Every structure is written in structure tokens, then in C-alpha cells.
Structure 1
Amino acid sequence: MTALEELVKDAGVPARASAAPTVADDVIEDIPLYAPRRKIYPQSVNGFFRRIKWAVLIATLGVYYLLPFVRWDRGPNAPHQAVLIDFPNRRFYFFPIEIWPQEVYYLTGLLILAALTLFLMNAVAGRLWCGYLCPQTVWTDLFFAIERWVEGDRREHMQRDARKWTAATWARKGVKHVLWLMVAWWTGGAWVLYFADAPTLVKDLATGQAPFIAYAWIGILTFTTYALAGHMREQVCLYMCPWPRIQAALTDEYALNVTYRYDRGEPRCSVKKAEQLRSAGAPAGDCVDCLQCVHVCPTGIDIRDGANLGCIQCGLCIDACDNVMARLGRPTRLIAFDTDLNIKARLEGKQPFYKLIRMRTVLYAAIIVVVGGLMVFQLATRDSEGISVIHDRNPMYVRLSDGALGNAYTIRIVNKQLKNRNFIVAVEGVPASLVDFVGMPPRADGRLLVDVGPDTTREVRVTVTDYSRTPPPPSTTIQFSLIDVDTGEVAQMRDHFFGP
């Protein structure tokens, strides 16, 4: 064996240095479906992606905790909470927008937009949602920060857990769990504030006058937040969440993912060995096997092993590796958002290429724009009043003693404004007919003047009788009109007059 071969062997150069790390074809391991949990001690790190995560954490938690207290003046007879899900009155308020139960299609549109946005994020850069915006990630990050503040960073925490526990250790553990429970309790408390006037509910909760359901939900959400973010952590991402499995079927070879650039990093060796190999003309990678990328990972994976279900694409391993490369005077981004296609291109001496704008990203973006545009248009042009008509089904019609035919209807009038309004109800379409508004006298012109209270509905019963001498057709279209007395706005609904 030559001196160069001995040097390469001592450096631990893998046999396939130019290829991605793989498992030998003749080695089949019995990998269990569920691996026993080992406690993960993520190390703190500073860098570009860590700053983004801090900014997202502060913004999202700030919105979640403080939004119920934001006020919005909607005038008299209306709640002044900017965002409110008002179950007793069956309303959803979002700043100037008010959604009624019959407008559930807006919720459908929002769900479609959320799904398509998730698909678009995945097509562009993998699991960005998981790494930055997922509630599990955000609250786990917060719990990690509390844990480090109380028990120290990775090394200190591991050493303390490995030693015999003292009174000081128990005290630290107690303080940590108390802080976790406080965060979890306020998480549950903030959630119930979206369903009632926040200042009033806070006062009622503090004085024991709030309804039992509020205390029950606070307890449930306190427990789930404490359990998921404080104890289960990465297990939620690995075993409970379906999105990692779904997104794997939606991605393609052009989607950017957190990737170890093995074309540059392999073969791994220490700084000293790398210098010796390079001076001898042997290949040496930039990876020094410091394991910093593993130590900072919140799910405890080694990104150098290739694509992994546990990788949430948070980018903390990129920051850790960049810090090491900067100290060694080597180029950064040994770990980066990249694709396997680019790694293979560099191995072949070609220029890497990025294809963010492609059919699927354009299609997702186009559908998002169309659905969002339709929702905005519908909101901007929707009426502030509405009319619906229900024809009596049993019987469909009646024949009077004089031979006339009669049909009965229930008219529901909707007033979506926060003030009392007067409407004129008119029925047209059946010749030689008599319109009778049951229990309500019509005007001289045969139309009905009816007042409807603010933000409410009113029902009117009406019978239409056909006294024509000629036999009517089995079905005649008639029109019900609702006219605002003050503005002249008109809402119309058509139904049928039935005969034999």
C-alpha cells in the first residue's frame, strides 16, 4: 500500500466519495415502525435562519395572544372586538367583514386558499410551513427557549441531567415546568377569547363567573399545549402529523430542500487531515464532522444522511454549518436550500440551475389568485339585504270551493346592516291573482311594507290565489321582490306557482 493510500485510509475517506451516502444493497436492517424516544437537547445557534424563526415566532404569537383585545368600531348594536366568532348570534367578525351562517362558502374559500398556499410553499421550498409557521414548531421553539433559559444550553443541560439530581436540579425542573404551564394556560385562555368579548371574559374568568365551557376548553388546551410542545416535541412531527407523508407525494425534483452538498463536503475529515490530503493531492471535503448540524436540529436528525422524514426544513443546521465554515475560513452554505439535481450537475462539472417558476408553481399561484379574487369580488359586491322563499310542500297547491287555485310560501327577509330598515315586498307573475300576506295588511297597491330589525331576519307568510277562468299551466314562474325604502336596493327571488 502506498503512502498516499495509507493517508487516505487514515482520513476515513469513504469508498464512494463522489456519491450520496447510501446503505449497501446487501444489508437489510429490520427498522422498527416506531423507534424508542431518545431525549433531544437542541443547541442554540445564531444566524440568518434563526433570526427569521425568531421574527416569525414573535409575530405569530403576538397576533395570537393580543388580537382578541384589538377593538373595531362597528357602530351601535354590534360587538367591538376586531376578530370574534359569535356562536350565540351565529356571526363571524373580522375587522370590517361580517360573515353570516349562510355564507359558509367563504370558509370553504379560505380552506382552499390555505391548502393551495401550502402546496405552493412545498413546490418552491419544501416544508417551509413545518419549519417556520406550524403551531407545533412555534410553540416548541418557545418551550425550547424557556428550557435553555432555565437549565442552560445543550452541554450544560446534558451534564446536569447525567449527574445525580440535587435540590437545585429539582428546583430548575420545577421552574421550567411552571413556566411551561403558564404559557400553555395562556395559550388556552387566548383561544377562548376569540369566542366572546375578550375584556369581559377575562374579568369573568378571574372572578369565577365565566361559563363552565370556557374553563373546560382552557384546561383542554393547556394540557395539549404542555404535552405537545413540552414533552412530545419532535414525536408530533415524526408520527402524528400527516403532512410529511403528504408533501412527499406533492414535491418534485426542482423543489428546494435543506440539503447537505456532499459534492463539496465529502470525504469528511478533520482540518488537519484535510490539509494533509490536499497537500498530497488527494480529495478532501469541507465537512469536518463536527456534528454541529446534528446538535442544533430540533428533531435530532443528521442532514448529511440525505432526505429524511424528520427534517422540518427549519434551516438551523445551515446556520450552524455556516458558523463553522466561517471560523475555518471556508465558503459557507455547505448545507443549503438546494436540489439533488444541482449536486449531480456540479459533480459533472455543469452549472447548477434553479427552476422555481414551472408548471405546478404557476398553476398553484393562478388558482390562488382566481379564488382570492372571486372572494374579494363577492365581498365587495354582496348585498346588505336578502330574500329567500320556501314553497309549502304539503300540499303543493289547494283548490278552493269556487275553483280557484292557491299556493302558500314562507318569505325570509335578511337585514345585514346594523340599523332598522323598512322594505317593500312585492309578488308578481300570476295574472288575475290575489296576494294575501297572512296577518299583515298590505298597502293600497297590494304590496307589503315590513320593518326588519338590525342584523336580523324576519319571516312573512304569503298565499297567492289564482282566480283566472282559463286553466293554468302545471307550473308558472312568479317573482318575489324586496325593495329597500330608503336606498331603492332590490333583491329578487323566483319560485313557482303550481297547479294540477
Structure 2
Amino acid sequence: MSDGIAKEPIQLYEARKKIHPKRATGSFRRFKWIVMAITLAIYYITPWLRWDRGEFAPDQAVLIDIANRRFYAFFIEIWPQEFYFVAGMLVMAGIGLFLVTSVVGRAWCGYTCPQTVWTDLFLVVERYFEGDRNARIKLDKAPWSFDKLRKRVLKHTTWLIIAVATGGAWIFYFADAPTLLRDLVTGQAHYVAYATVAVLTTTTYVFGGHMREQVCNYMCPWPRIQAAMLDEDSLVVTYNDWRGEPRTHGTKKAEASGEAHGDCIDCNACVVVCPAGIDIRDGQQMECITCALCIDACDDIMGKIGRPTGLISYSTLNDYNANMALATDPESATLNPDLVRDKDGKFVDAIKHFDWRIFLRPRTLLYFFIWVSLGLALLFALSQRDRMTISIQHDRNPVFVTLKDGSIRNGYNVKILNMIPEKRLIHLSVEGLEGAVMTVSDIEGAPASFATVPVDPDQVRSLRVFVRQSPENIKSGQTPFSFIATDQQSNEVDTYSTVFDAPE
């Protein structure tokens, strides 16, 4: 029965509050600039690098040639049947990600993830046209004017240019970059190229310019997986409340009154620089990408008020718990930062600090061993792989033919694969079949025990080969023998075992 009082509906979803991160300065921010410059340069420049493979192969250094089913990476050429090399590299990337995460948390997310890199780039553009945090907040609240419209148009136009360049750079990995660029500009490229550019332009513009941290929080699975990769000795961005609490806004006033106070002055500098909009002082959170900009912001404030840096730092859970135990009053069970300082105000020797030996714990060593082993195995397989192969398919109907002179003939479909960008002359012969001669289609000459077959660069040569055995040498049933393909110039040999069928 209603009591006549209107109730507020329960809100199950809170609308996003736009984040305006302030520009940070410091060592981690400089490191992020360097990483951003390197990763963007690799992405945009790589398709334009050239690599001479001779006149019969493309000269683009990195090329995913879907039409011809090839993958080129500088001196390496991968064929479809060698896709296990690509799979191996992907496994190595996964193990490497586990290794990095177990050591320094979400360093991938904070520094090298494409979402982070392009969001940083878009923020640079936004700051350039609209100013830093306070100016952008003020502009958002301001009514529309010519100046606001001008800034927004310039910002979004630049974002779109970056987004188009991003989509364009991606398709250059799949075709000769200069040729494809000319076709794109003149309208002669395939519609798939334009569609791909359009899709990647849209996603880059929306993800980097508008959704930003929402991609990390709601779309990316890694924040939920990373917890399984961390342990008590993993380095993560940590607010050291054992020295920061209790917070105070007036340090001098608190010192004069003799009140217990920590180093944190509650300035919120760590909050306003965070691209995820979180407060690291609330502890570890799924949204944190460990970009360490809060460390730069806090260290800057600590320097200004004459306190040691490191109030926010990379720390392990074990070190944090040990330091918390030192700073906790055993009687009141409250934090007392005076317990971690001596009479001169310096930290006591018992305080736990970063120790590089945490990198040598069993988990990281296991990941590193697996990662290195995979890399060495791939390099060994790459150095030992065949660059010429043959495959044979015996005729099924009829399996043999009896000729008028009593000899028996078998037919075979032979494929010779030349996996180098040079023309080869392959010596094809049979071994293990006494008195056998063969005839090769498309190659003139009398039946013989061998034939010389030219094979074009990076091509498969398909042949019809007929093997004939004289009556005096025929054995009933199936006789095993081998086809042998030899490149007499490089001495590379490949052998394929098959059978010769004769009447029972």
C-alpha cells in the first residue's frame, strides 16, 4: 500500500564525468613522451622503409602481401605453411606481457598501449588549442561564441587528420605504400582500402578523442586479467600512506600545534593529472594504468614544500605492508608518521626501499626463461627451414597403366615450391625404383631417370610426371621409392617418399 510519498528512482548507472587531466612534468612524463614518439614513428614510418630483395620480390621492408600469401619483414619471408613463426611471435608477445606485468604492473597500459599513445597525442592537440586543465573546464562551461567554436573546430579537425593518417598508415602495411598512396589520392584504390581507412579513422577519433579512459575501463579485458599476473613483489604505483597520513592542509600550523601529521597536504595534484580520473590515495584500483604521472605531480609538490620525494612511488605490496607495520601505533592501531622518522626527521633504517633483486624471483625467472627459449627456438627454426620443397600426389584412378610393351606407368602430380626471390633450376630424379624412367609434362626430352625443371622466383611449379618401369623390374603390389629435388647451385635437397603401383 502506497504511503503517498514519491520515491526517487534507483540509479543503476552514473553518467560519465568528463576528465580534464592536467599536464604533468617530470621524469615519468618525459619517458612517456619518448615512448610516444618512438611508437608513433614506428607505426607511421615502417611501411615506407625499403629493403632490396632483388628484382623478383617487393622492396617494402615490412609487407603483409595477402594477394600472394606472403609476409615480409626485412630479410625474413614467411609463407602460409610457415605461419607457426607468426604464432610463435604472438606467444612470445603474450609471455613478454606476463613478464612485464609481473614485474612492473600495467606498464604496457601506461606507456605503450595504442589507446594510451593516441589518447596522449589527442590530449596534446587539445591542450594546444584549448589550454590546460582549468582553461578547458572553463571553456566547456562557457556559452558558445566565435572563439569557442574556432577552438573546437581546429581541435576536431586536427583530431580527424591524425585519425585519417592512422587509418591510412595501417593499410600501407598490406600493399606497396607509394603505389597505394597514389591510388588513394587519385581514387583508383580498391573500395576495401577506403572502407578500412574509414573504419580506423572513426575508431581512432572516437576512442582517442571522446571515449578515452572508458575504453580501458569497459572495453579492454586486461584490467581484469592483470590481477592474476601480480604478486606481493610486483612493482605498482602506490600511495605510501604510512608517511602521508594523516593529511593536513596547513603543515606549518600542524607543526606549531604539535599535531601528528603526514607529508600529504591534500593538494589533489595527483588527482588532477590522472588520465583515468582516480585518486591513487584510495589504494589500488582497476582503472589505474600505472602511467606514474601522479608520481611526477606529487614529487613536484614535495620538492616545493621541502619534503622528500616518493610519497607516491613504485612499490611492492610486501614493502608497503612492512612500512605500514612500522608506522602503526601498536596501542591505538592508528598511523603515526613520527614512528618512521628519527629525531632529525629522517626516515629510519628499517624502512623498506626498492631492491632490484625482486626481479629475480621464481615467477619472473620462469617467464623470462620461457620467453628466451621460445625466441631461441624460433631463431633456430628460422635458420634451419627449407627454402625449397616438393609435394607429390599419386593418381588415384587409374593407379597404374599397362603399356603395350608390358611396362607399367604411374602418374603423379608434382609441385615444386621455390621459396626464394631467385629463379632456380631443379634437378628432379627418382631413387629406389630399379629401371625406372620418367617423363615430365611441359619439358621436352626422352624418358630418363631425371629431369631439369626451371622454377620461377617465389612460385610453385606444378607438373605432371609419369614414371615407367620395364617388365623385368616390376614387382607386384606397391614398391616404395622417392622423388628427389636438388638445387645444384645451392645444394639444397628435398625428398618425398611415395609408392609405385603394379598388378598383384
Normalising to structure 1: TM-score of the pair?
0.87
Could you tell me how far apart the structure 2 residues matched to 1:152 and 1:190 are? 29
| Structure 1 residue 134 corresponds to structure 2 residue 137 | no
SS in 2 for 1:356: helix
C-alpha displacement of 1:463: 3.7
Cα separation, partners in 2 of 1:364 and 1:238, compared to 1, 3 Å: same
Question: What is the count of residue pairs matched by the alignment?
Answer: 467
How big is each residue's C-alpha offset from its partner over 1:368-391, in whole Å with a ceiling of 9 and x where there is no partner? 111111222222233332222234
Partner of 2:318: 341
Deviates more, 1:171-180 or 1:194-203: 194-203
Partner of 1:27: none
Q: How does 1:79-228 map to 2 (within 5 A)?
A: 79-228=58-207
Cα separation, partners in 2 of 1:351 and 1:390, compared to 1, 3 Å: farther
Partner of 2:236: 257
Q: Are the equivalent residues in 1 in contact too, given 2:437–2:447 (CA < 8 A)?
A: no
Q: Are the equivalent residues in 1 in contact too, given 2:431–2:483 (CA < 8 A)?
A: yes
Partner of 2:369: 366
Cα separation, partners in 2 of 1:391 and 1:271, compared to 1, 3 Å: farther
Could you tell me how far apart the structure 2 residues matched to 1:232 and 1:313 are? 19
Could you tell me how far apart the structure 1 residues matched to 2:261 and 2:216 are? 35
Partner of 1:234: 213
Q: How does 1:30-45 map to 2 (within 5 A)?
A: 32=12, 35-45=14-24
How big is each residue's C-alpha offset from its partner over 1:231-261, in whole Å with a ceiling of 9 and x where there is no partner? 1100000000011111112221211111111
C-alpha displacement of 1:400: 4.0
Partner of 2:298: 321
| Structure 1 residue 483 corresponds to structure 2 residue 469 | no
SS in 1 for 2:359: coil
Decide which of 312, 315, 319 is 2:289's aligned counterpart.
312
Partner of 1:425: 428
| Structure 1 residue 456 corresponds to structure 2 residue 465 | no
Q: Are the equivalent residues in 2 in contact too, given 1:293–1:317 (CA < 8 A)?
A: yes
C-alpha displacement of 1:164: 1.9
Partner of 1:12: none
C-alpha displacement of 1:410: 2.0
Could you tell me how far apart the structure 1 residues matched to 2:317 and 2:364 are? 19
Cα separation, partners in 2 of 1:240 and 1:381, compared to 1, 3 Å: same
Could you tell me how far apart the structure 2 residues matched to 1:133 and 1:179 are? 22
Deviates more, 1:221-230 or 1:283-292: 283-292
Q: Are the equivalent residues in 1 in contact too, given 2:439–2:465 (CA < 8 A)?
A: yes
Could you tell me how far apart the structure 1 residues matched to 2:459 and 2:61 are? 20
| Structure 1 residue 379 corresponds to structure 2 residue 358 | no
Could you tell me how far apart the structure 1 residues matched to 2:202 and 2:65 are? 25
How big is each residue's C-alpha offset from its partner over 1:177-226, in whole Å with a ceiling of 9 and x where there is no partner? 00100100111111111122212222222222222221111111111100
Deviates more, 1:204-213 or 1:312-321: 204-213
Cα separation, partners in 2 of 1:250 and 1:497, compared to 1, 3 Å: farther
What one-letter code is carried by the residue in structure 1 that aligns with 2:262?
A: G
Normalising to structure 2: TM-score of the pair?
0.86
SS in 2 for 1:375: helix
What one-letter code is carried by the residue in structure 2 that aligns with 1:129?
A: W
Cα separation, partners in 2 of 1:483 and 1:31, compared to 1, 3 Å: farther
What one-letter code is carried by the residue in structure 2 that aligns with 1:331?
A: P
SS in 2 for 1:331: coil
CA root-mean-square deviation: 2.4
Q: Are the equivalent residues in 2 in contact too, given 1:431–1:468 (CA < 8 A)?
A: no
What one-letter code is carried by the residue in structure 1 that aligns with 2:399?
A: Y
Cα separation, partners in 2 of 1:400 and 1:361, compared to 1, 3 Å: same
Partner of 2:497: 494
Could you tell me how far apart the structure 2 residues matched to 1:313 and 1:396 are? 69
SS in 2 for 1:333: coil
Could you tell me how far apart the structure 1 residues matched to 2:377 and 2:398 are? 38
Partner of 2:450: 447
What one-letter code is carried by the residue in structure 2 that aligns with 1:67?
A: T
What one-letter code is carried by the residue in structure 2 that aligns with 1:380?
A: S
Q: Are the equivalent residues in 2 in contact too, given 1:443–1:449 (CA < 8 A)?
A: no
Deviates more, 1:487-496 or 1:219-228: 487-496
Deviates more, 1:150-159 or 1:262-271: 262-271
How big is each residue's C-alpha offset from its partner over 1:319-363, in whole Å with a ceiling of 9 and x where there is no partner? 001101110110111111112211111133455264221222111
How big is each residue's C-alpha offset from its partner over 1:291-328, in whole Å with a ceiling of 9 and x where there is no partner? 11110011101111111110011010110011011101
C-alpha displacement of 1:127: 0.5
Could you tell me how far apart the structure 2 residues matched to 1:345 and 1:473 are? 83
Cα separation, partners in 2 of 1:330 and 1:474, compared to 1, 3 Å: farther
Q: Which runs of 5+ in 1 are unaligned?
A: 1-29
Cα separation, partners in 2 of 1:283 and 1:406, compared to 1, 3 Å: farther
Partner of 1:19: none
Deviates more, 1:481-490 or 1:467-476: 467-476
How much identity, in percent, do the aligned residues show?
A: 46
Could you tell me how far apart the structure 2 residues matched to 1:137 and 1:498 are? 64
Deviates more, 1:161-170 or 1:433-442: 433-442
Could you tell me how far apart the structure 1 residues matched to 2:283 and 2:159 are? 34
| Structure 1 residue 70 corresponds to structure 2 residue 49 | yes
| Structure 1 residue 416 corresponds to structure 2 residue 416 | no
Q: Are the equivalent residues in 2 in contact too, given 1:442–1:449 (CA < 8 A)?
A: no
Cα separation, partners in 2 of 1:443 and 1:244, compared to 1, 3 Å: farther
Q: Are the equivalent residues in 2 in contact too, given 1:184–1:222 (CA < 8 A)?
A: yes
Q: Which runs of 5+ in 2 are unaligned?
A: 1-9, 327-349
Q: Are the equivalent residues in 2 in contact too, given 1:91–1:100 (CA < 8 A)?
A: yes
Partner of 1:397: 399
